[in-house]
A and B are shown apart, each in its own frame.
Chain A
Amino acid sequence: MNASTASSPSISSRPLAATRIAAGLAALAFGLVVFLATGFAAPSQIHNATHDTRHAFGLPCH
């Protein structure tokens, strides 16, 4: 009982860092997935729809 209440203040700052790391990783992963889907996905329908964007940003195309 005592131990858990005593340790709570030191833990309280830790979830903040954990939340930050988790949020940062989630945002990074989401961004990379959308980036790869738009700029690199192989199916020709996706390629044709994003063709001019891929060329404009210098991504490998064709």
Chain B
Amino acid sequence: MLKSIVLSAFGAGLLVGVILTGVQFLTTEPLILHGETYEQAAEAPAPAPETAPVPAMSTMAGHDHGAAAAGEAHHHDEGAWQPADGFERSAYTLLANLLMGVAVSAILLGVMTLKGDPIDARRGVLWGLGGFFAASLLPALGLAPELPGTAAAEIGSRQLWWLGTAGASAIALALVVFARFYLLKLLGVMIAIVPHVIGAPPPPTLEAAYPAALGAEFVVASLVASALLWSLAGLSSAWLYQRLSRPAG
């Protein structure tokens, strides 16, 4: 059983990761790169320093401040390794998307298995949409998807709020959908509201280096990407699992 789940999660994850990388390449990625040009312009010191040539083979030890002039720059831990712009950066994004696809597929199959109903493509999509609702849409109400260069509270506090909200929303959704008694469904609604009453860590400023329309475009593109990630992962992993777990013959 676990073997079928793991195989399905990896099969679906690889498929979804490739599809989502394509979707991001056309939707979120151009916006991220566009946003970074404003981020860099805002961060750049007035007199532009001589453009240092980026070492061609800058891998682990690549202390590439020169890359700032070439494109990618970040205000955190400037000395740390980062993939070079272009192919290397895209390759790591593909890898990360594959891992996200596998992770989301495994989470959905795990929860579907625990629930105990037969697993098929139709249920897979529904669980996937539920996952999107709990782990993307509701947390986005407090912490909207951000372009690089968005002012925000300290990362740890936002991650904590995001994880708490996703967890609470998942429990809330399960109660609303599956609970037999209306009082429990009502409890689910209240659990979903609590993180938003507590409130996400507020950003120090609402000002952004990039135009507001660019940020709005990114929020929608990001939510669409997340919806595709969760629903496609649910669909394909459940479909694969149904095929793999069926007795041979």
Contact = CB atoms under 8 A, between A and B. Distances in A.
B28 A38 contact: no
Nearest to B218: A55
Chain A residues touching B, majority SS: helix
Contacts of A53: 24, 93, 96-97, 100
A35 B29 contact: no
Nearest to A52: B93
Given A35-B100, A56-B222, A58-B140, A48 B80 contact: yes
A26 to B, nearest CB: 6
B89 interface: yes
Interface size on B, as a range, is 35 or more
A31 B105 contact: yes
Q: Which of A19, A49, A60 is most buried by chain B, counting CB atoms within 10 A of its CB?
A: A60
Interface size on A, as a range, is 35 or more
A31 B95 CA distance: 16
Contacts, number: 160
Interface stretch (B154-162, B175-183, B190-198): B154-162
25 contacts: A19-B1, A20-B1, A20-B113, A24-B114, A27-B9, A27-B107, A27-B110, A28-B106, A31-B108, A34-B102, A40-B159, A44-B80, A45-B82, A47-B76, A51-B93, A55-B146, A55-B222, A56-B222, A58-B143, A58-B219, A58-B226, A59-B162, A61-B148, A61-B155, A62-B74
Interface of B: 1-2, 5-6, 9, 20, 24, 28-29, 32, 74-77, 80-83, 89, 92-93, 95-97, 99-100, 102-114, 116, 136, 139-140, 143-148, 150, 152, 155, 158-159, 162-163, 219, 221-223, 225-226, 229
Interface of A: 19-32, 34-35, 37-40, 42, 44-45, 47-62
